[in-house]
Structure 1
Amino acid sequence: MSFNESFQEFPSIETERLLLRELQSDDAEDYYNYFSNHEVTRFWGYDSPKNIKTVASTFIRFSNAFKRKEMIVWGISSKETNKIIGTCILGNFVRGSMANINYNLSIEHWKKGIMLESLGAIIPFGFKNLGLHRIQAMVMPENNASISLLEKCNFKKEGLLREYSFGTLFTDTLIYSLLAEEFN
């Protein structure tokens, strides 16, 4: 499958415990409930959604960005409940060869291997289906959990961007990357 073919219809991905799928309007309350927790957004660089109506318009922006081949936002849902407990995003594509990866997870599901399982499915999709050469992540130096996750996924630390724009903040930012040849 090529980069362009991957955007014909939303690419749902199934793992052992999870379904990574397109966010639907019914998911707005679940998303709002976990994403409005300051601990979840502390390293995100953006404000939490103000209300469920704001979330619904965010989902429309996600859908439109997918149609424009700008990003793929997977809702992470438990197979048991189908409830949205987090998201993973591949976006900021550069000529179909490079992308940024971002993720967030409900605090109730931290330290259960959920994000490792999610990235373990999305990273291969990026390299194999989208044909990416490089996937990169930007993380605040004090976000130890995210750094540990990236290192478990074999991302390499490349350096520190001083007072980089991270959402609405200017903060030091570490950049990590994984190349297709390192993944294979």
Structure 2
Amino acid sequence: MPFKDAFHTFPKLETERFILRELHSDDAKEYYTYLSDHEVTKYWGYEGPKNVETAAKTFTRFHNAFTRKEMITWGIAAKDDDKIIGTCILNDFIRASMVSLSYNLSRDHWGKGIMTEVLQTIIPFAFHALDMNRIQAKVMPENNSSVKLLSKLGFVQEGLLRDFIFGESITDTLIFSILKKDFIEKAL
């Protein structure tokens, strides 16, 4: 599917345990609650929403960015109760061939293999449905969980961006990437 055609309707994806879907105003309370936890936003580069109303307005920005073909933000919802426990974002599309990946997850759900499961669905979507050639992720060096996750999924650490602007912070930042050819080769 050509890149431009992938944005006609929001791409709802499914894993074994989760539905990856667009965020709606009904999700604002869960989103605000887990992003109010400083441990969740510690390596994010900026604070979460200030209140539930701000969270709901954030969803409007996400939707508008999707409409402009700039970003896809999936809410990670458990199949059993449809409650949002995290998000996964593809953004900063460059010439419909490269994209940046970011993600977050409620602390209550850390260490359960959730983000591995989710990204094992998002990555093939980016390569096949969006026809991306490169997916990259920026990670603070001290974020050991993300470094391990990306390495496990086949991302390669390319280097260190010194004093890089990461959200609202200036910090050293690691850059990881996975190329479509490497992903396909690994799948064979």
Task: Give the aligned residue type for 1:132.
Answer: M
Residue 148, structure 1, aligned to residue 170, structure 2: no
Which residue number corresponds to residue 62 of structure 2? 62
Distance 2:23 2:6 in 1: 17
Deviation at residue 48 of structure 1 after TM alignment = 1.7
Which residue number corresponds to residue 127 of structure 2? 127
Which residue number corresponds to residue 92 of structure 2? 92
Deviation at residue 52 of structure 1 after TM alignment = 0.5
Distance 1:121 1:156 in 2: 19
Please identify runs of 4+ aligned residues in structure 1 that moved more than 2 A.
none
Which residue number corresponds to residue 176 of structure 2? 176
The residue correspondences of 1:107-126 to structure 2 (distance < 5 A) are 107-126=107-126
Task: Give the aligned residue type for 2:119.
Answer: L
Deviation at residue 47 of structure 1 after TM alignment = 1.2
Q: Unmatched 5+ residue regions in structure 1?
A: none
Which residue number corresponds to residue 137 of structure 1? 137
Which residue number corresponds to residue 30 of structure 1? 30
TM-score scaled to structure 2, two decimals? Answer: 0.97
Distance 2:145 2:41 in 1: 13
Identical-residue share of aligned pairs (%): 59
Deviation at residue 50 of structure 1 after TM alignment = 0.6
TM-score scaled to structure 1, two decimals? Answer: 0.99
Distance 1:55 1:46 in 2: 14
Partner of 2:90: helix, strand, or coil?
Answer: strand
Q: What is the Cα-based RMSD across aligned positions, in Å?
A: 0.4
Which residue number corresponds to residue 77 of structure 1? 77
Q: Unmatched 5+ residue regions in structure 2?
A: none
Task: Give the aligned residue type for 2:131.
Answer: G
Which residue number corresponds to residue 44 of structure 1? 44
Partner of 2:26: helix, strand, or coil?
Answer: helix
Which residue number corresponds to residue 14 of structure 1? 14
Cα displacement string for residues 97-129 of structure 1 (whole angstroms, at most 9, x for unaligned residues)? 000000000000000000000100000000000
Cα displacement string for residues 163-182 of structure 1 (whole angstroms, at most 9, x for unaligned residues)? 00000000000000000000
Partner of 2:44: helix, strand, or coil?
Answer: coil
